[in-house]
Structure 1
């Protein structure tokens, strides 16, 4: 009897704790947002939400004649007011847990700064910070999210996958997630850098099915260059070569393809197989010095000049020339940023802090001035491990 009584009492105490799925949300009541755009609308924030149309992407329904996504827009004084205001036009509550890309319009990033939006999204428990952040170059985020794309039905998914693949195979681009961006903005000794995206072609047809109904789409989304921020405001853009130099210094290059002029004319194409960059700082007589050491393993992709690839002497010459080219890329990127923007995007300040925290604390407020005259030493080591399936080129053996 006592055992039964105790069991009943335990159950009575436990029942109120078993509340079930108190916060459940039915899928047919939610609008799944995959792309979020932020623009300036006078004194307001304009939000663009790229939302999936379930019937058009469902394999069971077979899809219809409409587009796989739709775009809702609203403006308000703050981000979440604008997102909530989307329900004026959306029949479903916007669900933010699956955001793939966050796109800032260039005007908004320059004039308003992006910190308030990033902090609001970090506070929101339903928004995971693993989305990629991008800047709409020479256009608005709304126009970027209003482009239908081939191969990937959902444009936000295309932007995410395209940037992810490009960052791993093409050195001028890089990925930045929401939590990484917040870290860059708050960490002393480094300023944020974000990849840009632009709309190329005929904007008038970008949001209709005409854009994916031809072999060559009238309007396309292209990743283009790296945008530089000072604190949370956009201040400018890097060129393609400057972006390459930045990514080599930051150890962001996984694999890429590049060419180099031959000594007697023509070009040799290299495929980077592995790249590793180390940055170290020393403080000598109250003056910081940065040492950059890059190791690169490459293969020969193509030979468009009359050189003997099978010769060890030729390979050594190519390795030496490639080392000089990589050093030149990094050096020009650093010098250009110093001359045009006067801020440290390379994280040299972080390296100084790691080497001598007390010294960096003393100069932290004046770090940008130290960066202007910072002594940076470059070293590159290139090894050519493969020459492809051919040795010497047979171009000179072609018959008349």
Structure 2
């Protein structure tokens, strides 16, 4: 009797673990969405889905004759209603686990706000939050997702990889994933900043093979500037230099290229090898003070004037000039945000909270007004470690 009871209990425990693929979904029944676009359509949400065409990306099926992706659109009062409504035109159920980019139309971001769609996607268990969020600048998300791209035949994959590489090698851009965006929306003392994307060129035939049939595509997608949000609504854009200053302050710069004018004519080009930014806050006499410390290691990429790179005196001068330029970039970025937007996108409020939680709780509701007169101190250290395979410039030795 005891053996029968033990067997029964063992089966009761093990059988639930042997249920198999009860929720399996066959690939030939799914439309895999790589790009999700959200636009305003009157009072409704317009969803654009960039879906892979399997036969065109499969080498075994001899693909490559048609477009590798197709696009479906639908409008409804809410995001997921619009996504579900896509089945009116799509022969397959839209599968959202592989979204690479979410593009938000500029009008939608300005007038409606992005919290609802961000919260909806984070709540949906089939959506992974590692997709990149971008704002369509001066256009709609549907037009951005309508552009076929060379080199990467899946446009959403192109946008993801392009932004990923650009963030690591070019200081005006940055990445924001779905979960990071929700954190910025909810965390006190900081407002969201998202990289923009725009359609450059002639978008008339951007969705056809003609767009990738020539060496230079008539229409292309470019990452451009950083969009500034107040709460969940877009309020403006940073310039390229302001975006650089923002990324230096936020410790987002991995590597980049910059230049300085020579003390004679021409430029010296630098490549940043390593950049580390630390921010600290303190409260002095009831006023918050921010300290920004940057350590930068750079190499010389090119010299367009006849200066003696082999001279330690010249290298020290270039280091001082580089330090002054970095401070200038950060100051311009902060002053522009103070003057035009009046919101804390740099996370200074978070630093104040970490330094003095009681003080921040008192001023939290009026924190953005504190930003107007915030005292910021800069400590920048630039070291030039490499000068390349040449020492002094040979420009002055060239025969005329």
TM-score with structure 1 setting the length: 0.98
Change (3 A) 1:16 1:341: closer
1:318 is aligned to 318
- Shift of the alpha carbon at 1:383? 0.2
Deviation sequence 1:150-205 (CA, Å, 0-9, x none): 00010000000000000000000000000000000101100000000000011111
Deviation of 1:321 after TM superposition, in Å, equals: 0.5
Deviations 1:112-138 (A, max 9, x none): 000000000011000000000000000
Structure 2 unmatched runs, 5+: none
Looking at structure 1, the residues matched to 5 and 173 of structure 2 have their Cα atoms a distance apart, in angstroms, of: 68
Shift of 1:8: 5.3
How much does 1:319 deviate?
0.3
Q: Residues 143-292 of structure 1: matches in 2 within 5 Å? A: 143-292=143-292
Pair 1:356–1:211, CA change in 2 (3 A): same
Cα distance change on mapping 1:8 and 1:119 into 2, 3 Å: closer
1:292 partner SS: strand
Q: CA deviation at 1:10?
A: 3.5
Distance in 2, matches of 1:133 and 1:234, equals: 13
What is the distance in 1 between the residues matched to 2:13 and 2:328? 72
**Local SS of the residue matching 2:251:** coil
2:381 aligns to what?
381
- 1:264, distance to aligned residue in structure 2 (A): 1.8
Task: State the Cα distance separating 1:399 from its structure 2 match.
Answer: 1.5
**Equivalence map 1:1-400=2 (5 Å):** 3=3, 6-7=6-7, 10-11=10-11, 14-15=14-15, 18-400=18-400
- Per-residue deviation, 1:5: 6.6
SS of the residue 2:55 aligns to: helix
Rounded to whole Å, the distance in 2 between the matches of 1:214 and 1:139 is 24
**Which stretches in structure 1 are left out of the alignment for 5+ residues?**
none
- 1:262 shift after superposition: 1.0
CA contact (8 A) 2:149 2:212 kept: yes
Secondary structure of 2:358's counterpart equals: helix
Aligned length, in residue pairs:
400
Provide the rounded CA distance (Å) in 1 between the counterparts of 2:272 and 2:95.
41
Deviations 1:302-355 (A, max 9, x none): 001111001000000000011000000000100000000011100000000000
- Deviation of 1:18 after TM superposition, in Å, equals 3.4
* Aligned-pair CA distance for 1:64: 4.3
- Cα separation, partners in 2 of 1:379 and 1:4, compared to 1, 3 Å: same
Q: Secondary structure at the match of 2:270?
A: strand
SS of structure 1 residue aligned to 2:72: strand
Write the deviation string for residues 92-116 of structure 1: whole angstroms up to 9, x where unpaired.
0000000000000000000000000
Measure, in 1, the Cα distance between the counterparts of 2:137 and 2:20: 47
Distance 1:393 1:286, change over 3 A: same
The answer to whether the 8 A contact 2:306-2:394 is kept is no
Output the aligned Cα RMSD. Answer: 1.2
Q: Secondary structure at 1:265's aligned position in 2?
A: coil
Q: Following the alignment from structure 1 to structure 2, what is the Cα–Cα distance between the partners of residues 356 and 154?
A: 48
Distance 2:325 2:15 in 1: 71
TM-score scaled by length of structure 2? 0.98
